[in-house]
Chains A and B, each alone.
Chain A
């Protein structure tokens, strides 16, 4: 099986793993809590990951979680993944951060993957899991937790499940014991089931638009047809 590097920086606990594409047991894995300074931790870890290659063994894929998740973390992970892929001249396999978390479970159960979106909202998606690729029950959403909780029994994964454990359990959910860990083995596993692409074609899935607001005075003047927008 081909050698693959998996990267996940979607949540405060970030991770890297080196292993075989399709095999959920990494040859080497690293993770760390990085509420700040993920960039400083990831660089040395990457050197160590790349050192796991045997003599003459070439990296063949980079798998990266592309969101949703923390905006800055996603970009740290993607920029790193793209740099490795570009230098190694290998394709990238982008994986939804929530699907990767659901894919940690291979039993046939309903799974709710959650990542804390702050502002009292969660990034969430429901899946029917199994030995293959988790089957999405609906779109990836950015909503208050109550709007994401499914009816009936389910397993909750992702750092959001830990943050809101009491409410998840009150709704009939069971929080997975490894809920907040970066899903490195799952990335290696489902990477084999998803398309690889040229690094230039990989895009992040922020789900939430940026908090960019046109200043009121500018907007009012434009509404009146006053002023110009000049870009030079």
Chain B
């Protein structure tokens, strides 16, 4: 296989992102929709390219710095599809807020997508780092792009400084691993670690910093400080973007580093991940209860969900990885819909990001209240919605790996979490709307997209096997 053929999706995304930038620069002001449609077209082209080639065995390109395997292809498909979906929500948001800067949103989001694609198909520490930087740099600027808004600037600054610190730690860990093993190549590292019993301590030392880097990207406790402020401060479509596809990419990053490169140290990183996971589920769920801002509540719920996601990795088996992948994909879909409802309810005056904005939604708009009900129940893990199967499959693997106490703890934390999810339902269905509350107005395509988003979560709950088979197929190479 030719190197250039293997990197075709990434290469065309780069060219298309530059083209979108030019389209925005030249015709963006006269026809704002031109930028949107060219961005959508780019995503569709790249999606077709990614999905059209599924390799039978792992292929390497560019002197082993890039790999193309089933896991990479599946993750890339999910990432690009999620980005495509988020563009439609972003369009609705920008049409309600003519004053907000929209031009750079689409090109920067496409560059972030490129970073995610490189990150999930990296096969060298160097490629992992550069892919991560490309993703992060685009995200920092997306957060800060509403520069006249004080919360957005503050959030951007916080994200940037903490992100730079996390990148520094990640690089330090990589340099230690390189110093010990003498290679940047992840498959080579995997082989060499077995022969380096004497340097175990040093390898673990390097591993700690890698776990910090991954933890920051996922936003798990104690590396979660940026999550609530960024989620609340950034403009809603940007929050939605950060909360969906990059989580899938961060899962891919964890797989590449911990499993593809350092599976030999599994017993070490399992211990670290258990600590991160328990802290995240606990702190995330407890602090979410105290929130009155819907975006901030979702931020703490993200922290808890990412802790849950780590449980699948802790089991260190191919089924566990598949369960985690299933979880992160469904989570991204649910979170997309939840932020989508904020965009739907917002008006040109301001964001509807307080929980009180949902008061009596069932009477104002029964259909969208039902869609949000599906999403929230699914996040809480109520059957038969998708989130139940996600939680169930992860817990099953944790029990199979003999961590019964951990599974029990996860269930307890999920029950605590159910409280604030059900409160959203209570506010929507049992509280009477304020007398002057406006009807929900949405454009037809926005209603269609949000409905499809919510129903997809329901359908995946009724027939979870469609997605689960894909995830299992992607994890087959990791079976012992």
A and B pair up:
no
**Interface residue ranges, A against B (CB under 8 Å):** none
